[in-house]
Amino acid sequence: MKTIILIISTLFLTLVSCSETGDQLPSNAGNKETLITSVDLKDINDISVLLSSEIDTVNNTVTLIPKDDIDKRNLKFFATLSDGALSKPILGALTDFSNPVSYTVISESRGITRNWTVIVITKNEEALITSINDIKDENDVSVLVSSEIDIENMTATIVVKERADRKNLKLSASISEGASIDPALDTYTDFSLPVEFSITSEDGKTVNKWVINVVNDEFIDHDSGFDYDLNPSEWILDDSKSDDFDNWDETKWSSFNETSSGIFDYNAENVFSADGKLRIVADIAGEKYSAGKIKSTFEIGENSYVKIRAKTVNFQAKVTSSIRLQNEDIAPITIMETVSAGPGTFSSSLRQAENISIDSKTTLTDANLSEDYHVYGLERRNELLRFFFDGKIVWEFETSQYPGLSEQLLNMVIGIEGQKDTNPNDSRLPGYLLIDYVEVYNAVNTDEITPTYGKNLVVNPGFEAHDGDPDMGTNNPEGWSITRSSSPSDVWVFKDWRGSDISHSRFHIGMVGGELSTCDYVVSQKINNLPDGLYRLEFWAYMVEGNTEFDPLPRLFARGYGGLEKNIEIENDGPEAYDPNTDPSPWTKYVINNIYVRNGSCEIGVQAVANGKARLFVDDFSFHKVNY
């Protein structure tokens, strides 16, 4: 009899062992179902603690919800199985249900197994802050920079923007599932000192005291210390018009305080001195943006040198930092204005009455203008402006045609403005325009400065050298390129044509044999290997009277020098032939000043477009470097 019992026990163990794999076992006669049809859950004292249950035969899960205050680490699981089926592990044993537990049900036939997962859900015992979602100011604008949660010490440190008022902030955070917190989140709270929050777990067993510490972001101002000095024998510092901004000086500056129709409202609170620097701030305030701008009470005139050591607002903030010399609402001289082309690019510009543009210059540097301080300078002398970046000339402009640019008394305006058709980048605000100093110098020598001119750089400026018969004309003057985009018409070089005005070998554009002209001619020359600097272009020209049907008027041009094309129209006419000894000369000199070459070359020339009776004479080009 003992032998028979041993054989049966061995067979049972073999079947149970095979069921752990989930494979189909050898079939015997009997029920093949492996279901759990009903369940119960008891505590260590064999008292049922089950409130509800759910048996999912599709996903093979059993979900149990016990009564409150139940320790799910010591529970007994009971189940009714399909007829004749058995379970492994065995039912009714004390089990830790902190995590889901797997049971294998083996059919009565012992040929089929099914793996079931039993899940006991109790109320959450945790009382934690799991994440800091945001923290907002009184305008409901996020001021969050970063956050760190220390679960072990139950603290959270939140860094907010440097200008955020910690006395009135609204915290949004996530806590453990089902837990409660006091004081409530998402309400305005004074975080100027650490604030204690009580978090109670869902099951009410755990109450943790959390401390929230809110700090303002540290203001970091990198300054390499770069600067340069002016020669004291040439320039004298005017202390009455200079400021190192150790303190705010109301005798020298006023702050804009006005509502704008544009992007920014200007507030005096956005301008202040700190750590020996002037801080001009752009920030977001609800649905509007605020910024700062200052205007000098003193005026700056001729024979002066202005230095401003400054660090611009971060390029990614998408706002404009500017330094201008201004008269009422017009800024005739913009010393520096950041542009959207890149973090190292700024523009300088000149304007006249009614805000009409005169000229401008874009300067591309190798620096990031918002990462360190740079020195922007302007020298205003009689008939000359010089713009400087870190002590090097970046633009020169002769003001003989616009004397007010040199002579007019102007206030200095420094501030932050919006970019056209672009909203600021909120994530990069607040943004700071930092000014280390403004220095105004007066020239020791105020005598008029007179320019000198370099040699004429034009090849074959008077068309004396050319191929072909000098009496009959040619369209191949040496050194010149001729582009014709329509016909019939021609271009000729005349050598002492008809014996008139013997000194001229003039260039003719126009009709051939009395035929009407339908032409678009460009006669040009590219001059290379030019040092950066100021140049002047001149030539002589006139239209033949009775043959002036050009549309538009012919024009002298300079282009490809690193700036916008400059041109001037030819408006005068005169006789085809005249006696230079007795007749007035029909020739008029045309001049283009202020060609500031910055890329080593410049293309000069004349363009004539006609459709009818049209003839043009041009002669004696000159292109000189201007030196002051």
pLDDT of residue 536: 98
Picking from 108-117, 216-225, 465-474, which range would have the lowest pLDDT averaged per residue?
A: 465-474
What is the widest separation between alpha-carbon atoms in the chain?
155
112 three-class SS: coil
pLDDT(500) > 50: no
Asked if the model's pLDDT at residue 285 lies above 70, the reply is yes
Is the domain defined by 481-627 classed in CATH 2.102.10.10? no
Indicate the CATH number for domain 129-216: 2.60.40.2340
What value, to the nearest 5°, has the Cα angle with vertex 609 and ends 604 and 610?
A: 150
Q: Same topology for domains 235-443 and 481-627, yes or no? A: yes
Assign 3 to helix, strand or coil: helix
Residue-wise over 12-35: b if at least 16 C-beta within 10 A, else e? eeebbebbeeeeebeeeeeebbbb
Lookup: tokens for 331? 């800024």
Phi, psi of 428 (to 5 degrees): -100, 10
Tokens matching residue 123: 């109320």
Architecture of the domain defined by 235-443: Sandwich (2.60)
The Cα 174–Cα 434 span in angstroms is: 38
Q: How far apart are CA 388 and CA 230, in angstroms?
A: 12
Whose CA is closest to 545, among 517, 572, 574?
574
pLDDT of residue 1: 35
The SS3 of residue 113 is strand
The pLDDT confidence band at residue 513, using thresholds 50, 70 and 90, is: low
**pLDDT band with cut points at 50, 70 and 90 for residue 281:** very high
User: Which pLDDT score is estimated for 136?
Assistant: 95
Query: Could you tell me the pTM of the whole model?
Result: 0.74
Phi, psi of 498 (to 5 degrees): 60, 20
Three-class secondary structure assignment of 141-202: CECEEEEEEECCCCEEEEEECCCCCCCCEEEEEEECCCCEEECCCCCEECCCCCEEEEEECC
Concatenating the DSSP letter of every residue in 309-360 gives EEEPPPGGG-EEEEEEEEETTEEEEEEEEE-TT-TTEEEEEEEEGGGEEEEE
**How far is Cα 235 from Cα 304, in angstroms, rounded to an integer?**
8
The total number of residues shown for the chain amounts to 628
Q: What is the pLDDT of residues 521-568, one digit of tens each?
A: 899 999 999 999 999 999 999 998 888 888 899 999 999 999 999 999
| pLDDT, the chain, mean | 88
**Residue 497 predicted with pLDDT over 90:** no
Residue of 282, 325, 323 whose CA lies nearest to 302: 325
Cα–Cα distance for residue pair 288/266, rounded to 1 Å: 11
State pLDDT tens for residues 425-480. 988 999 999 999 999 999 999 888 889 999 999 999 988 877 765 444 446 788 99
β-sheet bridge partners, residue 68: none
Top CATH class, 2-120: mainly beta
Domain residue extents for the chain: 2-120, 129-216, 235-443, 481-627
Q: What pLDDT sits at residue 505?
A: 62
d(CA 384, CA 405): 9
Q: Could you tell me which residues are beta bridge partners of residue 235?
A: 443
